[in-house]
């Protein structure tokens, strides 16, 4: 299949070569980190550019998961099918723009005819954006990028991953639990992968009183794309019902 052409918003994307280049070169420079005063302005500019760029993204569903997941992995296929189904139902897909689960979700969104958004991070170990993104934005700061994920997502889907994936999962729950953001559906994909963590949360965290039993209702666990879509729709159907009362 012919790979899609990536459309870049000129005023929002930091300097980078075309994704089709054999050896993409990113302008990552640590020099700006030497001055806290000037760094403030760069941080401000990234927030402004990010807000403007993502203001057009409606019904965004963020996918998180390992960049090491290969195309023949069942979870890659799960992410692809889920993103494709969501796209066909009018949702936009947002990822970290990398490989693995991120690529699977962007590919699913693209094939489903939806908006396939990638929020890439410029780091010394270059992360080359996957070729299935039709709206690419790049950041130097992790925390600015995380704000964009949070602000423009109406749902968060968490596939098997490492520390970064766990960080996104628990931060989403913490923000909802403390009423820092409006509640959104947070979905763990793949009960087999997450059962150990869930067992620990029930057996240790609840037992020791560090969280309450009701906190486990802040997220869903699903095993199929249909269940995932249903969880998102069910959440907002309940929200509308509560709003009417």
Quote the pTM value: 0.84
Q: Average of pLDDT values for 213-219?
A: 96
Q: What is the pLDDT of residues 36-72, one digit of tens each?
A: 788 899 999 999 999 999 998 999 999 999 999 999 9
Check: CB of residue 13 under 8 Å from CB of residue 50. Answer: no
The residues near 124 (Cβ < 8 Å, ≥ 6 apart) are 28, 30
**In the predicted structure, residue 23 carries a pLDDT above the cut 50:** no
Residue that wins the pLDDT comparison between 14 and 148: 148
List the domains of the chain with CATH numbers. Answer: 30-244 (3.40.50.450)
């Amino acid at each position: 299949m012919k790979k899609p052409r990536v459309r870049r918003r000129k005023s929002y994307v930091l300097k980078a070569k075309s994704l089709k280049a054999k050896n993409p070169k990113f302008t990552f420079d640590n020099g700006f980190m030497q001055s806290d005063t000037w760094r403030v302005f760069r941080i401000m500019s990234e927030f402004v550019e990010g807000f403007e760029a993502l203001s057009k993204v409606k019904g965004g569903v963020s996918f998180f998961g390992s960049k090491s997941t290969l195309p023949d992995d069942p979870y890659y296929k799960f992410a692809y099918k889920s993103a494709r189904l969501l796209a066909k139902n009018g949702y936009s897909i947002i990822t970290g723009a990398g490989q693995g689960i991120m690529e699977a979700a962007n590919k699913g969104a693209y094939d489903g005819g939806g908006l396939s958004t990638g929020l890439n991070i410029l780091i010394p170990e270059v992360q080359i954006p996957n070729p299935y993104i039709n709206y690419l934005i790049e950041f130097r700061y992790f925390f600015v990028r995380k704000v964009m994920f949070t602000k423009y997502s109406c749902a968060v889907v968490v596939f098997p991953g490492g520390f970064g994936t766990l960080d996104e999962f628990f931060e989403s729950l913490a923000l909802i639990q403390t009423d820092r953001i409006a509640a959104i559906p947070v979905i763990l994909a793949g009960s087999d992968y997450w059962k150990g963590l869930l067992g620990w949360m029930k057996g240790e965290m609840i037992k020791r009183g560090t969280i309450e039993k009701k906190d486990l209702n802040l997220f869903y666990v699903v095993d199929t794309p249909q269940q995932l879509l249903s969880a998102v729709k069910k959440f907002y159907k309940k929200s509308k019902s509560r709003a009417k009362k």
